[in-house]
Amino acid sequence: MSSTVQICLRHPGDAAAAIARIAVALDVPGYFASADEFAFTLRSDPWTTRDGVLSVDFSALDRELYGTGDDTAFAPYDFELSLELRNVPAQARQELLERAGRAVFDRLTGLDVPLAFGDGVDLFADFLPGRGVRDFPPGVSWDEDARDTWFEPGLHGSQPALSFDKERMSPARPSHGAVRVYEADGLLQIIPWGEAGAVTPVAAVRAEAGPALLGRLLAEELERSALAPPQKNDAWSWVSGTARLSPEEYARTAVSIDVRVGEGAVHAVPHGAGTDTDTPGPTVDALPERRPGPWDDEAAGELVLRLVGRLREHAHS
């Protein structure tokens, strides 16, 4: 009996691009990023019981475990989601976990990328664009013992179908868009800013993760903000909850930076702590910056981290 279930996916973009699409598909309010993995939680219907919490970790596929080529059913994939269920009765946990995993798997078929769903021993189902879902009977393992059952020429073969072997997608290089980056106690939270205000999901990352990862997340969120639907979402319960503060307390604690891309430049306007979540704090007139030229992840991350440092220095001067 496994304590987790896995959903593996093949995705032409990098991890930051993949998690951004997954988070939108699953309607999560926000996710955490680090150098090695991403994490988020799913609660209640349609994923689990009223009190259940589905913890999800997203990372590169474990090649040491799953191999390459047709070593295992999971080998051709790029990334894996590991799902663990908490706050449910022990006697029902396995059944509820598999049910929750299947609900996530079914939702992710909407991404139209190859997927596989299983646990530490068995393969439950897979999905290929154009072919659809293939369910496996109980007891089909994902290792070589069951190759005759799970082998898919368009995916596991020596010459995979071109539709499933896409070239790597170039990372996002936003030419327009807007986000607001909040910082409190070293945690940066990137909120896409659409026409009507804040939208979700929010991307959160620790400052010590460095400018390259921060810039990569900024790029994805900026690009998504330009495509955001014209409605406002409640980002604040998640943003303040991660800091274990009420929205009002968070607004009084956090500094923020409005980052906008347009007119061939990155524009950054820093704000001190405010009084509520509807409006940012006062602008620090000496700190706004404009960086002309094409998008650069690391340079953008360095810009935001530098301005956060200056905001904190200004607050204590």
Q: What is the pLDDT of residue 128?
A: 94
Structurally, at CATH architecture level, domain 177-316 sits in: 3-Layer(aba) Sandwich (3.40)
CA–CA gap between residue 294 and residue 241 (Å, rounded): 35
Q: What is the pLDDT of residue 162?
A: 45
| Residue of 200, 313, 304, 314 lying closest to 260 (CA atoms) | 304
How many C-beta atoms surround the C-beta of residue 316 within 10 A?
6
- Tell me the residue type at 212: A
Total length of the chain: 317
How many C-beta atoms surround the C-beta of residue 138 within 10 A?
6
Domain spans of the chain, in order of start: 4-155, 177-316
CA–CA gap between residue 117 and residue 106 (Å, rounded): 10
How many C-beta atoms surround the C-beta of residue 246 within 10 A?
14
Q: What is the pLDDT of residue 317?
A: 64
CA–CA gap between residue 64 and residue 75 (Å, rounded): 10
| Residue of 216, 230, 222, 214 lying closest to 191 (CA atoms) | 222
Residue 216 three-state SS: helix
Walk along the chain (317 residues) and give the pLDDT tens digit of each residue.
578 999 999 998 899 999 999 999 999 999 999 988 999 999 877 787 777 899 999 999 999 898 887 889 999 999 999 999 988 888 888 888 999 999 999 999 999 999 999 999 999 999 999 999 999 999 999 998 999 999 998 888 765 554 544 555 677 888 899 999 999 999 999 999 987 788 899 999 999 999 999 999 999 999 988 886 655 678 888 999 988 888 889 989 999 999 999 999 999 999 998 877 777 888 877 778 999 999 999 999 999 999 999 998 877 76
